[in-house]
Homo-oligomer: A and B are copies of this chain.
């Protein structure tokens, strides 16, 4: 078909409109809460390279898999991982509502027996939600995250997702990455707390799974973990089971993420980037060592230097 003058005019019009939109999108900083520096530049350079069609490092959309740890990476994990705060509150409520309940950990919780509770924190974790419907459990986690307050920041936990990390997730998704959370915390907890602030579908929020009982239209939580904890080698394993592709991007903060870093940086098919967040900012947050070991292809992000601001409500 030969273009007539009208269609040529329309083409120019559409082209001009597209270019204007493109330029505007480029000039807007997708990660304003990051300080300018080598790490922000490395992230932007990586995303630019793997999304440039025809470029040497181009990665097809189907292979743009990114995996993030939750506690200490997307969300504050001090003085306690939030899943532990939730479990403590849950078990305490059950203990108070059933003053004759003598089984553990309810008795220890009622009596304030910290020695028992510290030695048996896994029992506290798995007790929080036994017998609950999984949907109801997620709703309770969500309600907790919107009402219970962090002891230091005095704001609901849902506000303690790091703004720079939320921007990074959004930036990757805007560039057609499929983003997953891989957390050692229980999967129902991850889905309950992260859905609002991070906005991923449940299929992309993975955590350590409990044995569930199928009830015809839903699932009841047991007090037992399934076979695999989503930490250490459990992260690559759950990637293979539930994603089935090697990531090109990963972000964590602790030794529990080391195998995820190792697996991602072993990607020989595609350019890849891994980062870990060092908590080195006692003034604004906390300073602690999480045992990450250096690895080629793994960059260290400093909260103190790379995060211009920490939270959205600052």
Chain A residues in contact with chain B, CB under 8 A?
10, 13, 62, 134, 187, 191, 201-203, 205, 209, 212, 214, 216-217, 219, 226-227, 233, 236-237, 240-245, 259, 262-263, 266, 268
Contact = CB atoms under 8 A, between A and B. Distances in A.
A71 to B, nearest CB: 19
A111 to B, nearest CB: 36
Contacts of A262: 216-217
Contacts of A266: 216-217
A216 B244 CA distance: 15
A245 B10 contact: no
A167 to B, nearest CB: 22
Q: Ordered nearest first, which 4 A-B pairs have the shortest CB separation?
A: A202-B244, A217-B266, A214-B233, A227-B227
Contact of A244 (B13, B191, B268): B191
A177 to B, nearest CB: 13
B212 A245 contact: no
Given A202-B244, A209-B241, A214-B237, 17 more contacts: A10-B10, A134-B240, A191-B244, A201-B245, A203-B244, A203-B245, A205-B244, A212-B237, A212-B240, A212-B241, A216-B262, A216-B266, A217-B262, A217-B268, A219-B237, A226-B227, A227-B227
A62, A233, A268 interface centre (most CB from chain B within 10 Å): A233
A268 B10 CA distance: 47
A263 B216 contact: yes
A244 B214 CA distance: 13
A203 B178 CA distance: 11
A300 to B, nearest CB: 21
A219 B246 CA distance: 11
A53 to B, nearest CB: 20
Given A217-B263, A236-B214, A244 B201 contact: yes
Contacts of A268: 217
A36 B246 CA distance: 43
A248 B51 CA distance: 34
A242 B242 contact: yes
A230 to B, nearest CB: 12
A62 B10 contact: no
29 contacts: A10-B10, A10-B13, A62-B201, A134-B240, A187-B241, A191-B244, A201-B244, A201-B245, A202-B243, A202-B245, A203-B203, A203-B242, A203-B243, A203-B245, A205-B244, A209-B241, A212-B241, A214-B233, A214-B236, A214-B259, A216-B262, A216-B266, A217-B262, A217-B263, A217-B268, A219-B236, A219-B240, A226-B227, A226-B241
